[in-house]
Amino acid sequence: MATYAVGDLQGCLTPLRCLLGEVKFNPRKDRLWLAGDIVNRGPESLDTLRYVYNLGGAVTAVLGNHDLHLLAVAHGFRLPGRGDTLSHILTAPDREQLLAWLRQQPLIHHDPQLGFTMVHAGIPPQWSLKKALKRAAELQEVIRGDDFYAFLATMYGNRPSCWDKSLQGFDRWRVITNYFTRMRFCNAAGRLELGNKSSPANAPRGYRPWYAHLQRKTRRHKLIFGHWAALEGNIDLPNLYPLDTGCVWKGGLTMLRLEDEAWFTCDCEPFV
């Protein structure tokens, strides 16, 4: 049995099949972790979502910002974006089944036996792993429960830009969402800067990549994440495993085998 983690698929099924074929992935005994953004931008969003869904218990996925965007668009709370490739999902006969499955996926996954934690964007420096798991569980209950549509209606926005335990309702849900699915740069207190999507070398004044703060409370934990293609999979810090290598932007699709930390890459065609 082996456990493989893959970065942002974004509707690119062909390179995923390439990687799984290379390692002779067997869903009856192996496990596949997905670091969010299963769909959107790439040419095979519906086929990718169906493929992942049909792997059943072999898959562990966390929600990314594009996955949440699909849910918002599908339920009428957001118009499709200019570069979206979600139309085949929205008109598929099995769309409700696929969307219901997506809605049940967590925001963070922690495996104490393997010693790895996976999230789409990151964990803010002021949160311990214990607090991150607690905040994620809180929002997961909202997404899976009766407040789901209220959440989608108020999900978008950059404010509040920093966590405060006194936050309630929509503002509280939004900042938790932004930490787990949109964060790149923040200051030491966890104040977000969400407008900059460039490389760490171009950090806004007063901000650093979320993982680069010296007092980050999760620095001793092994963290798998995606979301930030500009990193190109390179971070010169321990316990960090950035898996978004920009497949949909003509980069490659990257996969990590957790048991021995072996890396695998498959080239991707440019789709965007």
Q: How confident is the model at residue 270 (pLDDT cuts 50, 70, 90)?
A: low
Average pLDDT, the chain: 96
> Where does the pLDDT of residue 269 fall: very low under 50, low under 70, confident under 90, or very high at 90 and above?
confident
pLDDT at residue 206, rounded to an integer:
95
Please tell me which residue, 270 or 165, carries the higher pLDDT value. 165
pLDDT digit string, tens, across residues 103-153: 999 999 999 999 999 999 999 999 999 999 999 999 999 999 999 999 999
Query: What pLDDT was estimated at residue 160?
Result: 98
Q: What is the pLDDT of residue 93?
A: 98
What span, in angstroms and rounded, lies between the C-alpha atoms of 157 and 241?
28
Task: Assess whether pLDDT exceeds 50 at residue 193.
Answer: yes
What mean pLDDT is predicted for residues 186-213? 97
Report pLDDT for 251.
87
CATH architecture of 3-267: 4-Layer Sandwich (3.60)
> Would you list the DSSP string of the chain?
--EEEE---TT-HHHHHHHHHHTT--TTT-EEEE-S--SSSSTTHHHHHHHHHHTGGGEEE---HHHHHHHHHHTTSSPPPTT---HHHHT-TTHHHHHHHHHT--SEEEETTTTEEEESS---TT--HHHHHHHHHHHHHHHHSTTHHHHHHH-----S-S--TT--HHHHHHHHHHHHHT--EE-TT--EE-S--S-GGGPPTT-EEGGG-TT-TTTTSEEEE-S-GGGTT---STTEEE----GGGTSEEEEEETTTTEEEEEE-----
Report the amino acid identity of residue 112.
P
Given a cut of 90, whether residue 79 has pLDDT beyond it is: yes
pLDDT digits (tens, 9 = 90+) for 10-38: 999 999 999 999 999 999 999 999 999 99
Over residues 177-199, the mean pLDDT reads: 97
What is the share, in percent, of the chain residues with pLDDT greater than 70?
99
